[in-house]
Structure 1
Amino acid sequence: MTLSADLTDTIARLLAPLIPGGQQPVLQPLLGDGSARRFFRVFAGGRPLCLAALPAGGSQRELAEAASWLAIVRHLHQAGAPVPQVLGADLSIGLLLFEDFGDCRLHDLLHRDRPRGLALYPEIVRRLAQMQVRGVEGFQTDWCYDAPCYDQAVMVERESLYFLSAFWVDTLFAEEVAGLREEFERLAATAAATCQPLFMHRDFQSRNIMVGEDRLGFIDFQAGRLGPPAYDVASLLIDPYASLSDRQQHQVFALYLEEMGRLGGVDLAALQASYPYLAVQRNLQIIGAFAYLSGRRGKGFFRGFILPSLIMLQNRLADPLFTDLPVLRQTVATSITTYRRMI
């Protein structure tokens, strides 16, 4: 990937205090995940200095996303969350320079050394709880480029209908089922009824948790906003990349509740009551995202996680809590049968 001399010069200017003797930085392109942003590892004098992120284009939305990341990361860093330190930025082009947490994600570690990866979950949920509670203090919703809070409208429009459009219609080529939208509204209303807004990462899963030799790092929080804390812990526990057993999920959730209780000021009963509904919401979002990324964006890596996510959703909907969602239950069952034929 060829970069303009102007961009290299801009990075050199922003990093001047860290680069000895006025050396020009060398940029190594990195593969992104589901993001359309471009990432580079920045070297000087043969050693890595930081990571650089650039939007794929220069649209107002992309520049607003970069500004949102910058404001949120500075806030979270001040709150003591394990997020990257900012080393420089030029928001006129959406350029961000920040601490490099390395290449090992929790997802990678779980595949390479699963016992070691699983042993990190108590510390992960402890740091998550702290980030949620401390991160809400002084948080300004005008930092959010997308939506200031995770509410009923976001649940329906960005998650349930994402499942409907990206998976059910675009992937299975099926027609919308009568009554499904009404059940989506009912699910979201129930989930929203017990919300206690804290800081919400919005994509807290094993590919966004970096593992170093002696520290953890949380990344990809530019969609952060105010929202129910149970959503982030659900994202972690039902993460299809990690495939935690039901027993492991229960154990980690208990540790999370224990830390929330220790921090104080959190309605634990409301958190527990909202969890099953938010887990379904997250499950719908996951399937929609995997279908979109593998289909419209051509990222085949995500395709292999669609069926496990569907099965996980079917199992969750079997809970008596969801007897009032018969159309969704049948839609998911039909999805599994149809998708299995397609693959």
Structure 2
Amino acid sequence: MNIDILKQLFSHTTGANPTTIQLLKQSGSSRQYARLSDGETSVIGCYNENVDENEAFFHLTEIFRKQNLNVPQILQIDESRKYYLQVDLGDNHLYDKVINRTDQYLGSDLIDLYKNVLGKLVDFQTVKSDLFDHSKFYPVHSFNRASVGWDLDYFKYYFLKLNDIAFSDRDLNNDFETLIDHVLNDNTSYFMYRDFQSRNIMLVDDEPWFIDYQGGRRGPLAYDVASLLYQAKARITDSDRSILLKHYIEILKTKVDIDEKRFLNYYYPIALIRVLQTLGAYGYRGFYQKKSHFLQSINYALDNLVSLLPNLVALEFVPTLKRCLLELIDKRDVYKVSKDSNFQVVVNSFSYINGGVPNDYSGHGGGYAFDCRLLPNPGRLQEYKKLTGMDADVQAWLKQYPEVDEYLNDTFSLIKRHVEAYQERGFSYLAVNFGCTGGQHRSVYCAENVSRMLKEMFPDIQIKVNHMMQHKSYTL
């Protein structure tokens, strides 16, 4: 980003030079923002290399402002169309109010705020289609087969595959096509904001203003409502979600002739697609790009998935997808990160040939990965092949070898020193991983024993044990 270009735009707009320039934190996009001020006037400067995306934003802003919708005024655009200035709406996001609440429920003030937001969403969605130049929409003109397919593939490649969920590509793709066929039967002629969630809603004197709509396109009504009400980190309860959905439908009926039952028939499958797209994004940003804070939201998205399932009659027609989702839900304890103030040690057993070292969902990184394959292997004996390191017969067999006890003592000595040092320095988390060939015998045995040794020596710390291949988790 060339700050000098933003300075020039500021001077052309205000007739003065900026005295302070503050670079703003980037979110999920590649756009870069800065706040420029001369002490009296403050504006937001933006740089985005993608001119087509900028043109979509400029066009939509012009249309929305003419409809008196709360979107930021664009003050200046550089001739390159890559730099522009817009009105500074401040730093108050609806997102911050939602995630910092102290109760699991939204409460009356937030419910009223959400109702206000949903009313304004209806205003966006019902802008007359012929006011838009649809050729300006970016990156696609409509919610169509290709765009939904991209979202589902995003989930398949960056979440299912990276979490070692087994499936037939052919069968899963067939299920995706069935799901797409269903949702495309809905009316897709409305304006679809695409990323309508609390991060993109600013609060100015408690009135909602809206940003980041450059991905807008023609689409169904349900998508944006689902985006808001199933936003993972907002953690909206089913009861609050029901209140807000009912309010939205009531407002919508004053502007659009809709059949409520038909709307809900599409709403829940479209909400599923949005949740799967979110999981794909978390997988891409977290597992692939190694941005650990995205991993911490996975469990919230899986909670939304659990909430959706009872309403998804359509799942009966997509058996492979349904099995994959149920398997993910069975594993969701693995993604939970303790919020307790006590020190937590997560101890995992895993397979080197089936998944490898588990991902760390805490956001801290680091920790140990111990290779148990140097130990005698009970898995080579027929009588132990169907047992695990949690079974007494396997434990007795391993205990007869002195090198197994030596290995446990050696690894425990390292971990013990680490816990003591971390506690002294005020840290709160350590990951410990034990791996063997199949993740069934030696690694499980070592994880079980070291966990209990840690609990005996440090009774006040929390020990969370995950046996990855057995899909078993518990806390000591």
Distance in structure 1 (CA, Å) of the matches to 2:124 and 2:226: 15
In structure 2, do the counterparts of structure 1 residues 329 and 293 end up closer, same or farther at CA, with 3 Å as the change threshold? same
In structure 2, do the counterparts of structure 1 residues 135 and 80 end up closer, same or farther at CA, with 3 Å as the change threshold? farther
SS of the residue corresponding to residue 199 of structure 2 reads: helix
In structure 2, do the counterparts of structure 1 residues 259 and 214 end up closer, same or farther at CA, with 3 Å as the change threshold? same
Name the residue aligned to 2:210.
218
Q: How far did 1:311 drift?
A: 3.4
Q: CA contact under 8 A between 2:95 and 2:198: conserved in structure 1? A: yes
Name the residue aligned to 2:47.
54
Answer yes or no: is 1:84 the counterpart of 2:78. no
Counterpart mapping for 1:102-113 below 5 A: 102-113=90-101
Name the residue aligned to 1:40.
34
Answer yes or no: is 1:74 the counterpart of 2:27. no
SS of the residue corresponding to residue 131 of structure 2 reads: coil
- Unaligned runs of 5+ residues in structure 1 are none
Distance in structure 2 (CA, Å) of the matches to 1:176 and 1:242: 31
Name the residue aligned to 2:10.
15
Distance in structure 1 (CA, Å) of the matches to 2:286 and 2:89: 27
Distance in structure 1 (CA, Å) of the matches to 2:331 and 2:8: 55
In structure 2, do the counterparts of structure 1 residues 93 and 312 end up closer, same or farther at CA, with 3 Å as the change threshold? same
Distance in structure 1 (CA, Å) of the matches to 2:133 and 2:330: 45
Q: CA contact under 8 A between 2:54 and 2:81: conserved in structure 1? A: no
Distance in structure 2 (CA, Å) of the matches to 1:70 and 1:320: 38
SS of the residue corresponding to residue 46 of structure 2 reads: strand
Name the residue aligned to 1:299.
291
Distance in structure 2 (CA, Å) of the matches to 1:316 and 1:88: 44
Q: How far did 1:286 drift?
A: 0.7
Q: CA contact under 8 A between 1:72 and 1:222: conserved in structure 2? A: yes
Name the residue aligned to 1:247.
239
Distance in structure 2 (CA, Å) of the matches to 1:176 and 1:92: 47
Amino acid at match of 2:87: E
Name the residue aligned to 2:53.
65
Q: How far did 1:78 drift?
A: 1.4
Distance in structure 1 (CA, Å) of the matches to 2:99 and 2:32: 26
In structure 2, do the counterparts of structure 1 residues 26 and 136 end up closer, same or farther at CA, with 3 Å as the change threshold? farther
In structure 2, do the counterparts of structure 1 residues 43 and 296 end up closer, same or farther at CA, with 3 Å as the change threshold? farther
TM-score (norm 2): 0.65
Q: CA contact under 8 A between 1:38 and 1:54: conserved in structure 2? A: yes
* Alignment root-mean-square deviation, CA: 2.2
Amino acid at match of 2:133: Q
In structure 2, do the counterparts of structure 1 residues 144 and 91 end up closer, same or farther at CA, with 3 Å as the change threshold? farther
Q: CA contact under 8 A between 2:93 and 2:199: conserved in structure 1? A: yes
Q: Which of 139, 142, 145 does residue 152 from structure 1 map onto?
A: 145
Amino acid at match of 1:335: L
Q: Which of 299, 304, 310 does residue 302 from structure 2 map onto?
A: 310
Name the residue aligned to 2:163.
172
Name the residue aligned to 2:254.
262
Distance in structure 1 (CA, Å) of the matches to 2:258 and 2:212: 25
Q: How far did 1:93 drift?
A: 5.1
SS of the residue corresponding to residue 120 of structure 1 reads: helix
Name the residue aligned to 1:131.
124
Q: CA contact under 8 A between 1:195 and 1:274: conserved in structure 2? A: no
Q: Which moved more, 1:268-277 or 1:197-206?
A: 268-277
Higher RCO (CA < 8 A, seq sep 6+):
1
Amino acid at match of 2:35: R
CA shift digits 1:230-279 (9 cap, x unpaired): 10001111111211111111111111111111123556554333101110
Q: How far did 1:336 drift?
A: 3.7
Name the residue aligned to 2:136.
143
In structure 2, do the counterparts of structure 1 residues 266 and 137 end up closer, same or farther at CA, with 3 Å as the change threshold? farther
Distance in structure 2 (CA, Å) of the matches to 1:103 and 1:320: 38
Distance in structure 1 (CA, Å) of the matches to 2:79 and 2:310: 47
Q: How far did 1:325 drift?
A: 1.9
TM-score (norm 1): 0.88
Name the residue aligned to 1:287.
279
CA shift digits 1:299-322 (9 cap, x unpaired): 332211112212322442343512
Distance in structure 2 (CA, Å) of the matches to 1:26 and 1:128: 35
Q: How far did 1:212 drift?
A: 1.9
Q: CA contact under 8 A between 1:41 and 1:48: conserved in structure 2? A: no
Larger radius of gyration: 2
Distance in structure 1 (CA, Å) of the matches to 2:266 and 2:132: 23
CA shift digits 1:63-95 (9 cap, x unpaired): 211121111111112122211111111251511
Q: CA contact under 8 A between 2:7 and 2:18: conserved in structure 1? A: yes
Q: CA contact under 8 A between 2:95 and 2:234: conserved in structure 1? A: yes
In structure 2, do the counterparts of structure 1 residues 189 and 91 end up closer, same or farther at CA, with 3 Å as the change threshold? farther
Q: Which of 178, 183, 201 does residue 191 from structure 1 map onto?
A: 183
Identity rate, percent:
26
CA shift digits 1:120-169 (9 cap, x unpaired): 0110000000111026341121111210001122112x211110011112
Q: How far did 1:189 drift?
A: 0.8
Distance in structure 2 (CA, Å) of the matches to 1:70 and 1:242: 29
Amino acid at match of 1:192: L
In structure 2, do the counterparts of structure 1 residues 320 and 155 end up closer, same or farther at CA, with 3 Å as the change threshold? closer
Q: CA contact under 8 A between 2:141 and 2:218: conserved in structure 1? A: yes
How many residues end up aligned between the 2 structures? 329
Q: CA contact under 8 A between 1:132 and 1:199: conserved in structure 2? A: yes
Distance in structure 2 (CA, Å) of the matches to 1:112 and 1:310: 20
Q: CA contact under 8 A between 2:72 and 2:211: conserved in structure 1? A: yes
Q: Which moved more, 1:325-334 or 1:88-97?
A: 88-97
Name the residue aligned to 1:117.
110
